[in-house]
Amino acid sequence: MILVIDTSSARSAVALLGPRGDVVAEELADSGRTFSVPARVRAITAGQTIKTVMVATGPGSFTGLRSGVSFGLGLAIGLRIPICPLSTLALQAARSDTPVTALAEAGRGRVYRLPPGGEPAVGEASDVDGDLPAVGWLRPSTEAALRAAGVTLLDPAQLRTLGAAAATLLGSAREVAYGSLKLEYMYGFSAPSRQG
């Protein structure tokens, strides 16, 4: 079984995939203190043998990334099984069958974005190109700002779940050494300068 963990954005999820990438179990909820990664993992893996851990490594929330990746890494080390990093934005993009701009919450009203074939960036909702629909786990206020900027957000009911999206990325996921797992942080703002 393959365990998938994503705690990088406004929503968090854990999923359990079978050997062929079929989704066996999945839990999704708002991120924060009420989302207990250990409890959710215990609930979906009861009686199952985990062979690989896949974790979303960002960009995303500093605290969220650290909690999900730390738990996943600790579990992989403890069980002596492979760990595979997944880009948060690649996971979001994989939720759609059509080209989309992948988004993730960046805080302070900003979003991380990845257009098809482009480079990841961070900026305001007004920086997101509205030519393509967008997908991502976002706060209601961020969604409202994106809609006001002319961005179409796809209905989550019409998208793949995290587990199904991760299953589409299995062929490109690569195992990394425990000590080389890196989190992706993007800082795209500067503090105003203080004058005299």
Calpha distance 151→103 (Å, rounded): 11
- In this structure, the answer to whether residues 165 and 125 fall within a common structural domain is no
Residue 188, in any domain of the structure: no
Q: Is 14 exposed, middle or buried (0-12, 13-18, 19+ CB in 10 A)?
A: buried
Residue 50, in any domain of the structure: yes
Q: Concatenated DSSP letters for 36-48?
A: -HHHHHHHHHTT-
- In this structure, the answer to whether residues 104 and 168 fall within a common structural domain is no
- Please tell me the total number of residues recorded for the chain in this structure: 196
Q: What is the CATH number of the domain that holds 165?
A: 3.30.420.40
Total domains in the chain come to 2
The answer to whether the predicted template modeling score (pTM) of the entire model surpasses 0.85 is yes
Residue found by looking up tokens 């991502």 in the block? 136
Residue 190, in any domain of the structure: no
Angle between helices 37-45 and 62-79 (to 10 degrees): 40
Print the domain residue range for 124.
90-157
Among residues 98, 92, 110, 100, which one has the least CA distance to residue 11? 92
DSSP 193: P
Residue 143, in any domain of the structure: yes
- Region 165-191: mean pLDDT is 80
Query: Per-residue confidence at 86, pLDDT binned at 50, 70, 90?
Result: very high
- In this structure, the answer to whether residues 26 and 99 fall within a common structural domain is no
Q: What is the pLDDT of residue 187?
A: 58
Percent of the chain with pLDDT over 90: 73
- In this structure, the answer to whether residues 20 and 104 fall within a common structural domain is no
Distances (CA, A) of 183 to 11, 45, 61, 88, 177: 18, 25, 10, 10, 14
- In this structure, the answer to whether residues 153 and 112 fall within a common structural domain is yes
Calpha distance 152→30 (Å, rounded): 22
Query: Per-residue confidence at 191, pLDDT binned at 50, 70, 90?
Result: very low
DSSP 52: E
Q: What is the pLDDT of residue 108?
A: 84
Q: What is the pLDDT of residue 135?
A: 97
- In this structure, the answer to whether residues 22 and 82 fall within a common structural domain is yes
- In this structure, the answer to whether residues 11 and 74 fall within a common structural domain is yes
